[in-house]
Structure 1
Amino acid sequence: MPNPTEPVIEAWVSHLTKVVGEIDENTFFIGHSIGCQTILRYLENLPEKEKVGGAVFVAGWFSLTNLSGEEEKRIAQPWLDTPINFARIKPHLNKGIAIFSDNDPLVPLDDQHTFQEKLGSDIVIQNQKGHFSGDDGITELPIALESVLKLAK
């Protein structure tokens, strides 16, 4: 993704659009953290009849806690303040699974309800995985693979 230390909505969605190319119901996404926001905003802008098979959202968020400073807040603010039109996303997303950790320092566990209620996503809660990052000792995530395979059935 372009400029990963300072992600910008338009640049990330535009890049994802270029990388993905044509989609169909055999297209599946896996996103982590701000990547989940990118996927949602990509789906929000799809033409009316286009549909993907599904998406796995790992540590996806709609609110954040414990941001470590003004710089992190400045970067996150546009993503937090720019509304997502879930009604536009739902027709494009066949199925979704959202994976959370019970001790994620950044993503409130309550964000699971938005994925479930607004997108109809199944929810998976993992124990003690933090933000699913290398800093948390997470270098592989078998549940993400299992989830995308479940969606593809």
Structure 2
Amino acid sequence: MTRILTVPGWGSSGPEHWQSIWEREHGFQRVEQQDWETPQLRDWVAQLDEAIGQSEESTVLVAHSLGCQAVAHWGCCVINHPVKAVLMVAPPYLDGPDVPAELQNFVPMHLEPLPFQVLVVASSNDPYASLEQAEQLVQAWGGQLVNVGEKGHINSASGLGDWPEGYRLLQALLEPYCVDP
């Protein structure tokens, strides 16, 4: 059996966000954070590690936005528990002058190969990472990139609802593990 954990980004994922919908429709579990508004990297990574360690089941992560950066930090520096694969959706690129003060503790980004399969989903008009920047993250993490076209930050503001295209990408990612989420 494979367990799916969602890892929301800054501010969490509201009820209309595809992550929240997937949790309701498919029983995925959310990695909860103590503070969604003023994220602390150390705390987010510790919460992620604790959530992964709560089960002996194989784990696949579905991260969005800043949650992707937390997963990258965890994968490069902590890894106390195994993860099979990660679907990273709309990871922000945090190397630049426009990084909000609240996110400065997530800098520098970890840009090393991750020890699990990584599928990065990017939008061609994401305000937080250009396709070129998303490709740099993919190259560093040793993953694969899927460009889903103009979908903004691939969040509830993008009007995706349950985002069937993303769910199909997750199913393809899970296929090697013979799991039907």
| Bin of the TM-score, shorter chain as denominator length | 0.7 to 0.9
Q: Identify unmatched segments of 5+ residues in structure 1.
A: none
Aligned partner letter, 2:37: T
CA RMSD of aligned residues (A): 2.5
Identical positions, percent: 20
Q: Is residue 65–residue 107 contact of structure 1 (8 Å, CA) maintained in 2?
A: no
Match of 1:20 among 52, 55, 63: 52
Aligned partner letter, 1:62: Y
Q: Is residue 102–residue 125 contact of structure 1 (8 Å, CA) maintained in 2?
A: yes
Aligned partner letter, 1:55: V
- Quote the offset at 1:65 in angstroms: 7.7
Match of 1:113 among 120, 125, 135: 135
**CA pair 65-103 structure 1, distance change in 2 beyond 3 A:** farther
Q: Is residue 66–residue 106 contact of structure 1 (8 Å, CA) maintained in 2?
A: no
Q: Identify unmatched segments of 5+ residues in structure 2.
A: 1-32, 177-181
Q: Is residue 34–residue 60 contact of structure 1 (8 Å, CA) maintained in 2?
A: yes
The alignment status of 1:84 with 2:110, answered yes or no, reads yes
Instruction: Find the residue that maps to 1:78 and give its secondary structure.
Output: helix
* TM-score for the superposition, normalised by structure 1: 0.78
More helix by share: 1
Match of 2:94 among 49, 58, 63: 63
**CA pair 25-85 structure 1, distance change in 2 beyond 3 A:** farther
Q: Which residue in 2 is equivalent to 1:101?
A: 123
The alignment status of 1:127 with 2:149, answered yes or no, reads yes
Moved over 6 A (4+): none
Aligned partner letter, 2:112: F
